[in-house]
Structure 1
Amino acid sequence: MVFGPAVPEVDPGGVPDDAYLLDVREADEWSAGHAPGAVHIPLFDLATRAGEVPRDREVYVICRSGGRSAQAVRALNDAGWRASNVTGGMHAWAVAGREMRSETGAQPVVA
């Protein structure tokens, strides 16, 4: 998915294991399956919780398929963060074989 020069992108395989990964999906999506170590701030809450996101390192932003995370990246970068959109979102993360966890105790899935 291409969002123009204002939205840097990185493939799931290019996200370092120790990255600050911001998941902007809704709570039910997060519970069904997310990347270990990711931080959950739904897109709707990002404006009021942006202070929780570090400014001193690259921020990788992910959602289900890349649309909401692109919006978040655009907003964060416009406000002075260094953020990149994870191309293809959690769907691409799962296809790439990256680790996932569930909050429900069930096998993690992308919801």
Structure 2
Amino acid sequence: MKETFLVKHAVGGRAFIDTGKQPVPYAWQQEGDRWTFTVKVEPSAVTELLKWKDELNVFVFQEFVDAPTRKLWFYVVDDAVKYDEVKQELTIVAISNITYIPDQFSVR
């Protein structure tokens, strides 16, 4: 499976992080009803992102060889974006998500 991780300003806004265009180390895990994302990024790469930290969405696109692409859209909690300059680690917490497969949608 190939996975792409994106952090965007709102739904249709610009992308601050897009591992499909510029790979960065990241990890994510579910903890009860929350998802925590950790991303290794340099301070200069998060300056603009942090200005919009209360208006972010996280997306994970999972591409499979034998199945359609699955898209996961995570809604970020207010005041849940933190940056540790010493570790150069961005942490984002999301409280809900929507999973969908674009191939299963049609316009009639």
TM exceeding 0.5: no
Output the TM-score relative to the length of structure 2. 0.29
Output the TM-score relative to the length of structure 1. 0.29
Hey, which of these two has a bigger chunk of strand by percent? 2
Instruction: Determine which structure has greater relative contact order: mean sequence separation of CA pairs < 8 Å that are 6+ residues apart, divided by chain length.
Output: 1
Hey, which of these two has a bigger chunk of helix by percent? 1
